Structure 1
Amino acid sequence: MKYYLSLALVILLLLVSCKNETKTETANTEGIHKATAQEVLQVNQYTYIRVLEDGIEKWIAAPTTDVKVGETYYYGKPMEMQNFESKELNKTFETIYFIEKISATEDDVKSPLTANPHPLPMVPNQQSATTEAAKPTIDKKDVKVNSSEGTISIAELFKNREAYNNTVVRLRGEVTKYNPAIMNVNWLHMQDGTEYNGEFDLTVTTTATVQIGDVVTIEGKVALNKDFGAGYIYNIIIENASIIK
């Protein structure tokens, strides 16, 4: 009886040891995805790839890369976008994941990027902290919107961003850009004619619907250095804003 109890204990210890080793291996590759290319579509600036990952098919998109069907690749930091329309392909992807880099080796994916040559589609004029090359040009519009009671100007927000971080603010301005239904929210850009150290354009996310040219009052929380993945980091952004027209 003692013999069988000892044998059972040894087997139990071996099983626990194997389980712990498996967990260690998983932790070492955390954040890195491994997938096999099933279909490849090349356009001007992007490579769209239908991959098989852990038995599930999905679409990913990376800056133009030589990808071959049937080969295995690695990627990290995916940013999910729903109902994304590629005008070049004349195709709408119900769900697609944009990535910084795809590579045949895991080590290459882990290495830092030197540049991000193409900004993320459909999310215009984001202030990416990755490289100067990734920053698109933002035009200053000829607008003048005066602050109303209880609001601050865009210049005031930029000048005192640290003080306003993680606080709810109210601003009034003109909608200069608008992109709906990206990552389950609508994205808009606002200007009021003021600026601080050359900064005059404010990015806002909201579930409300507006149009370019609308003059609105928004209320939302300030976030600094907001990382949405795929190398896209906003220096300052207003999130989950309510709109008061």
Structure 2
Amino acid sequence: MRTTVLITMTVTLLALTACQPEEKNTQKQPDPAPQQKTPDTPDHPMSNISSSHTVVTQEVIQGNSYTYLNVEENNVSFWIAINKTEMTPGEIFSFNGGLEMRNFTSKELQRTFDVIYFVGAINKDAPPADPPSISGPKIPLDYSAMNPHQTKPAGHPATDPHQKKPAVDLTSISVEPAAGGISIGELFSSKDSYSGKTTRIRGKATKVNLGIMGKNWIHLQDGTGGPGTNDLLLTTETQVAVGDVVTYEGTIVLNKDFGSGYKYDLLMESAKLINE
């Protein structure tokens, strides 16, 4: 009799257990952390550094020689440095290109920037047709200094904040060496023999950054050399435009270190523009 009772209780217990609904995990899973955008990601505004950028000023830090700006473009914030200029949060401006510096330490600010871009010139003449998208706390936008109807002096070229510098087809570059000069490919292949010497190079300007660290930075190519040996960077006080074929003469310096991890294997310094 006792055995029958035990069997009956066991069967009943199993039946009740089978009828209970399966407990579901209803706890909400945390959303994945947003991916941090860096200049190396394709959707970062500065992944194409040479293009035109329209940004909103978020933060201003004044130094002795430079004005450091935290700016926002397409909901991404990054730092740039310009020649000392009066700026206020909320101002919109545009610029073309810049010189990227990683792990740059400003001694006067006692601060290290993971990535900062030194920009030669900015354009505050006119607001963009559609203000850039801003995330987070909204900062009032100051259009007062950017009157699109402002009258410019006679002969002053019209400015377009969205205008991009002409692109250079690197595959079609073919420039003959200057008289008394050498090709860029030859310079790199025999760089040790040219170290410390005044050298003349003719090439097409493929990238120009003006007024950065008191110098203009120009990239030249002439169609010679290969990856890593076909682009000559020079510093100068003169100005040229992207696409110009020019001749420069300057001193070749190897392993030039500007600090903050910014080092060049080969550089032409104090280059002078030669009129041919």
Provide the TM-score with structure 1 as the length reference: 0.49
- Asked which structure has the greater CA Rg, the reply is 2
Provide the TM-score with structure 2 as the length reference: 0.44
